Amino acid sequence: MTLHDTGSTAGHPQPHRGAVDTNPSPFEWYDQKTAASDLQIYRKQGPRPWSRALIDALEAEGVEGATLLDIGGGIGAVQHELLAAGATRTISVEASAAYLAAAREESDRRGHTGRATYLHGDFVDLAETINPADIVTLDRVLNVYPEWERLASLSAERARRLYGVVVPRDTRFVRLVIVAMNLVLPLQGHRVRAAVIPIEAIDRVARQAGLSPCFSRAVGPAWQVLLYRRDDQP
């Protein structure tokens, strides 16, 4: 879930933020420069390893004809790759206007206009207005959301078939890194905080939504890819 840009990118106006904003989203510190850099890396190198692992796991389950709800997807790697693999439509809900604009720019460049919908805001606030999708994904989102369990519950409920997440691995090394990050971020003026979420806790929320684990893979020292399948699916 990934600003504070108020201009426009690739012909797409950004939501206007007034000179005085008493309650800005903590995710609006991701600026246009950061989003453009991430998009450039994606165009040169493809999805990051953890995103690639999530995409591969979804494709192995079958994405032809599927719809996707991607929450906090940044520049949209999961969206772009699944559309290319046969998904029919995607909805992106992103709290960073800069990342949303970058994702839309790439979608337009790839000729996916009309198959991708972009919503700017906090998914938890918008959830009641968003229809279920065959696949729901959150790539490195739960670990930086203040009410992760509420976000997980609302998003899992909207997965008709598959629910995929990427979260930090629960290791001593990762916990030390996150402690350091949480000390540095406030000094830089950022309100985002990271956390390690036990996989058992995510499993519990998923099971409450009628989903069962079907894939788990560690990617490098930092990330864990988890995939859940709705219980009434073959």
Domain presence at residue 194 = yes
Q: Is the residue at 78 inside a domain? A: yes
CA–CA–CA angle 205, 210, 215 (5° rounding): 75
The CA–CA distances, whole Å, from 32 to 2, 35, 74, 99, 154 equal: 11, 5, 12, 7, 29
- Prediction pTM value: 0.86
CA distances from 215 to 57, 83, 90 (A): 7, 22, 22
Task: Tell me what pLDDT residue 48 has.
Answer: 96
Domain that includes residue 120, residue range: 8-230
User: Vertex 135, ends 153 and 30: CA angle to 5°?
Assistant: 70
Measured CA distances, 181 to 96, 131, 144, 168 (Å): 20, 35, 11, 13
**Is residue 118 in a domain?**
yes
- In this prediction, residue 189 carries a pLDDT of 67
d(CA 52, CA 78): 8
Chunked in runs of 10, what are the mean pLDDT values of the chain (234 residues)? Answer: 31 32 48 88 96 98 97 96 97 94 95 93 96 97 94 98 97 93 76 88 97 97 97 74
Residue 157 within a domain: yes
- What is the predicted pLDDT for the residue at 4? 28
Whether 2 maps to a domain, the answer reads: no
pLDDT of residue 12: 33
Count: domains in the chain: 1
Residue-level pLDDT at 234: 61
In a domain, 3, yes or no: no
Please name which of 166, 146, 204, 109 lies closest in space to residue 27, comparing C-alpha atoms: 146
CATH code, 137? 3.40.50.150
